[in-house]
Structure 1
Amino acid sequence: MPREFTPKVVTASDLLEGDVIYMTATDGWSRDLADAEIITDEAHSQLRLLNAERQPDRVVGAYLADMLPAAAGPQPTHFREEFRRTGPSNYAHGKQETQAGSRG
């Protein structure tokens, strides 16, 4: 029996900067998961993924990631996506550097 389709977002890595990015409903890309288009239809998810894969000058490694819809935007269902959302963990860089700067 096939598995029920679960909500997803299209995610990839920015080709030039390496940051995790998410496809938005307006065909753009954002570094903020809250801006990502949450996809609830399997056929639509495949079309959105194909759209991402046709942008090799912008993204690398595009795939569909499982998410839970929430008022604050999509929420990861797997620790890998939570880890990718927060950025590198070995030193203050990228997203973590920005967060550290806003605390001080």
Structure 2
Amino acid sequence: MPKAFTPKVVTANHLLKGDVIYQTATGWTRDLAEAEVLTDEADADLRLIDAAQQVSLVVGAYLADVDTAGGVPKPTHFREDFRARGPSNYAHGKQEDLSNV
């Protein structure tokens, strides 16, 4: 029996900046909380195809599992949690905006 489809977001890296980005209904965002949560497998596949065709903007697009409890998507895997927080080697990208870094 196939595994049940769980909520997902389309994620990729920005081609020029390297930032982790997430697909929204109208474009891309650096903030996971603004990502479009996909609950239908066919729709998720179409959104991923759309993302993969944006070769002048993104690289490495894929579907990432999220937990939608509380109304805001949160990563369910440590890799995605790490990616959502930004680079870990020094303050740049998303971490540059944080006051505690």
Which residue does 2:48 correspond to in 1?
49
User: Aligned partners of 1:72, 1:99: CA distance in 2, in Å?
Assistant: 23
Aligned counterparts of 2:40 and 2:46: Cα–Cα separation in 1 = 10
Aligned length in residues: 101
Shift of residue 92 of structure 1? 1.1
Identity, % of aligned positions: 65
- Taking structure 1 as the reference length, the TM-score comes to 0.92
TM-score (norm 2): 0.94
Q: Gaps spanning 5+ residues in structure 2: where?
A: none
Secondary structure of 2:38's counterpart equals: coil
Gaps of 5+ in 1: none
Could you say what the CA RMSD is over the residues aligned between the two structures, in angstroms?
Answer: 1.3
Supply the AA of the counterpart residue of 1:73.
Answer: V
The structural deviation recorded for 1:72 is 5.0
The runs of 4+ residues in structure 1 deviating greater than 3 Å are none
**Cα distance in 1, alignment partners of residues 88 and 15 from structure 2:** 20
